[in-house]
Structure 1
Amino acid sequence: MPDLWLPGAEVHDLGDHAPTDQQYPPKAIAHITWDRNATAAAPQDWCPYEDLVNYFTGSGAGDAPHLIWDPFSGRAAQLFPADSRSKSLLSPTQSPTRTNRAGRVVIQIEAVFFPYCRYQGRVYPRLVDTPCAGWGRIHAWISSWGVPDEWPMGRPSDFSGHRDEQTWETRGGWYAHAHVPFNDHTDPGSWPDFASTSGTGDPPPSQQHPAPPGGSTPARYQVSINGLPYGYGAHGYQVTTVGRALVSHGFGSHYRSGPGPDWTDADTENYADYQASLGYSGQAADGVPGESSLNRLLGYLPAQRTVSVAHVVAAARTDPGAEQGHRTYGAEAAIVEQALVDEGLLDQHWVDGSFGSRTVAAYAAWQRRCGYEGGAADGIPGPDSLHRLGAAQGFAVTD
């Protein structure tokens, strides 16, 4: 039997499980949360994933889907097992089917998205314009429940409704909320292609790797740790950080080039080798990081690239005199350390989240590069020099 719960999902079981109507073919229903109304002329900030999880596990439990999916990070929360109905569809008494139950499974997914949402400064008109992180994992799981890769009423491409009762009752596959009889919503407007593991088209050239010998394919799903994505298709400084740490620990044999900021099959294979070295096996060594193994690799968990002046000053004053490897603000110190490496002032080996004596010396060299002398170049970060480093290396600085 396939997994009742999506592997890697955050489980928030609402209880109140109920069987589906087995005489109908298996279905998946695509929704977007559409929690704000925005336009091209007036975009609005994206509503955080956590807010939607809190809503559907609280006051909105009566309308809860199976899955809440964050297409930016790949995080997913599951509220009902796959073999239970969920509650996101209208099912009025005049409907010939109980719409939430009309299939051997009726798995409903709410993507946390609305048209023209603004996320980290960029506006996204359609769901398919987002990274669609984690889509490959969700699609594979739903396919394991026998839902065919087809849209009986057409793949959604706009916000118009199209509903046909006979098609709904007789054909399995994927349905937009706009396709469900006796419902009035017209979402999701778009949905990622079945052939894509993320986004709408082929992965970029840096992510195209042949399958490894033996016919097996590395794991291609994402997880979110401390708010950052990891796994195939993930992008960001944290991916480079992991790759460099794998190489420094002797687990870089699968790289043809890199490491770099795009997570590829090579990253997955190298990370799997690292997990195996820790004694993990099976799915626990599939090459997608978990919080424990990532912490063991790096000594800290990377965070969003924002550094507090007060925090790194505290680290620079505390860590050198503490026991070896002490981390006062490890994630933020590591951002500064990596920036110093990229400026040619620190060896990669010392990117460990501990603002020790070598990091202080490297930061003093940065201060001298900024024009400071004497006691003003003592290796203790100041607002001006830290802002300059952030501007040069792409991280934000707060007080």
Structure 2
Amino acid sequence: MPDAWMPGAEIHDLGDHAPTDQQYPPKAIAHITWDRNATADNPQDWCSFEDLVNYFTTSGAGAAPHLIWDPFSGRIAQLFPADSRSKSVVDQPGGTRTNRAGQVVIQIEAVFFPYCRYQGTVYPRLIDTPCAGWDRLHAWIASWGVPDVWPMGHPVDFTSHRDEQVWETQGGWYAHAHVPENDHTDPGSWPGFGTIGSDPQPAPAPAPDPTPARYQSTINGLQYGYGAHGDQVTAVGQALVAHGFGSHYQQGPGPDWSDADTENYADYQRSLGYSGQDADGVPGPASLQQLLGYLPGGRTVSLAHLIAAAQTDPPAEQGHTTYGPEVQIVEQALADEGVLDQQWVDGSYGSKTMTAYSGWQQRCGYSGADADGIPGRDSLQRLGAAHGFTVTD
């Protein structure tokens, strides 16, 4: 018998368990939380995993899924056991009980919205994130007999594809955009089976548009795609040539992103196994990191902001954040150093972060009052030098 509670998940049992309808095949339903409306021109800061857990365990319990998944850290919270229904889709009176129509109907909410900004990088699609934890999440759902198929197609956009007969007769993975009696169109994208991160599940693609993509992505504060300008563009072009993907250049590469850069980058994406819209020649963070071995662009942390957070967050309410994005950069560096558990990389400079930073200060040779967990310039600059961020006043 598979585990009703996913091993390694943070358990927040809401109670109110109810059986599913066993005459239907097993299913999983993919959602994104879509907490804010952002665009490429107006990205918004990501909503934290803790905020979503708090919502679904309080006022949002009536629409709670089985699982809440943070694709950046890999943290997963579980609210219902696998053999119970959850509550994230609409059931119309007299219709198919969509929350229950399967031997299991496991619902997953990825903490994500399009063009969210996380630690300085903007992520247009879920598959552009690290998709941390996807491999173990997928394996656990597969253990409940959910087959690795999308009966209504792997989600690649925000359009609806609903068919009551397919829903009732075929097991597998469904997007919220596929569920009868519902009008939501998420998740827009979802990682592929047997893969980690942004390598998508291959799906039939429409005939390609002969015009190269002409939009831009923002990664670590820098622009890529048609019309982008800067040293980062030259670095991409030179790396493409070095990897054997420069056949479309008539001249260059140079600092101005042209259609030739897009076509060469698309060739590179296809070499990684991407297809369709995922190989349109506009970089995402995963493929760019693989091409260059790093992500250009600096992250900046203010010493004054860190000190203010260290003095404000510990006595405040649990989870309080002061300059949360900058604190999170430092917390991730501390986690990478092994002095802070990944679950406390949350933007709140609380007691766990204070203790971890004290441990870092001791590594730097400080002791006593000089290792009190409140950052000083020397220790913070050492941490920044080791983990790629810049310290300002």
Question: How many angstroms does 1:387 deviate by?
Answer: 5.5
Question: How many angstroms does 1:20 deviate by?
Answer: 0.6
For residue 192 of structure 2, what is the aligned residue in structure 1?
A: 193
Give structure 1 stretches of 5+ with no counterpart.
206-225, 227-235, 243-297, 312-326, 341-345, 347-354, 364-380
Question: How many angstroms does 1:12 deviate by?
Answer: 1.0
Question: How many angstroms does 1:334 deviate by?
Answer: 3.5
1:116 aligns with 2:115: yes
Q: Structure 1 residues 396 and 200 mapped into 2: Cα distance closer, same or farther (>3 Å)? A: same
Q: Deviations over 1:77-114 (max 9, x none)?
A: 1111111111111110242x111110000000011111
Contact 2:30 2:187 in 1 (8 A): yes
State how far apart, in whole Å, the 1-side matches of 2:177 and 2:348 are.
Answer: 44
For residue 66 of structure 1, what is the aligned residue in structure 2?
A: 66
Give structure 2 stretches of 5+ with no counterpart.
201-271, 273-285, 291-318, 320-331
Q: Deviations over 1:276-335 (max 9, x none)?
A: xxxxxxxxxxxxxxxxxxxxxx6x757659999xx9xxxxxxxxxxxxxxx995411333
List aligned pairs for 1:1-399, cutoff 5 A: 1-95=1-95, 97-200=96-199, 237=333, 241-242=337-338, 301=341, 330-336=355-361, 340=364, 355-356=366-367, 384-386=377-379, 388-393=381-386, 394=388
Contact 1:307 1:335 in 2 (8 A): no
State how far apart, in whole Å, the 1-side matches of 2:132 and 2:71 are.
Answer: 5
Question: How many angstroms does 1:30 deviate by?
Answer: 0.2
SS of residue paired to 2:99: helix
Question: How many angstroms does 1:76 deviate by?
Answer: 1.0
Contact 2:335 2:345 in 1 (8 A): no
Contact 1:63 1:88 in 2 (8 A): yes
Question: How many angstroms does 1:398 deviate by?
Answer: 9.2
State how far apart, in whole Å, the 1-side matches of 2:197 and 2:157 are.
Answer: 20
For 1:42, the aligned partner's letter is N
SS of residue paired to 2:29: strand
SS of residue paired to 1:101: coil
For 1:332, the aligned partner's letter is Y
For 2:162, the aligned partner's letter is R
Question: How many angstroms does 1:115 deviate by?
Answer: 0.4
Q: Deviations over 1:174-218 (max 9, x none)?
A: 00000011110000000011111333267998xxxxxxxxxxxxx
Q: Structure 1 residues 391 and 78 mapped into 2: Cα distance closer, same or farther (>3 Å)? A: closer
For 2:359, the aligned partner's letter is A
Matched positions, count: 264
State how far apart, in whole Å, the 2-side matches of 1:90 and 1:197 are.
Answer: 30
Contact 1:307 1:332 in 2 (8 A): no
Q: Structure 1 residues 193 and 63 mapped into 2: Cα distance closer, same or farther (>3 Å)? A: same
Q: Deviations over 1:41-97 (max 9, x none)?
A: 1011111111111111111111111111111111111111111111111110242x1
Q: Structure 1 residues 103 and 333 mapped into 2: Cα distance closer, same or farther (>3 Å)? A: same
Question: How many angstroms does 1:118 deviate by?
Answer: 0.6
TM-score normalised by the chain length of structure 1: 0.59
Question: How many angstroms does 1:241 deviate by?
Answer: 3.5
Q: Structure 1 residues 387 and 70 mapped into 2: Cα distance closer, same or farther (>3 Å)? A: closer
Q: Structure 1 residues 387 and 83 mapped into 2: Cα distance closer, same or farther (>3 Å)? A: closer
Fraction of identical pairs, as percent: 65
For 1:4, the aligned partner's letter is A
Q: Structure 1 residues 88 and 388 mapped into 2: Cα distance closer, same or farther (>3 Å)? A: closer
SS of residue paired to 2:53: helix
Question: How many angstroms does 1:389 deviate by?
Answer: 3.6
SS of residue paired to 1:99: coil
State how far apart, in whole Å, the 2-side matches of 1:307 and 1:68 are.
Answer: 20
TM-score normalised by the chain length of structure 2: 0.59
State how far apart, in whole Å, the 2-side matches of 1:382 and 1:328 are.
Answer: 11
Contact 2:361 2:367 in 1 (8 A): no
Contact 1:5 1:81 in 2 (8 A): yes
Question: How many angstroms does 1:38 deviate by?
Answer: 0.6
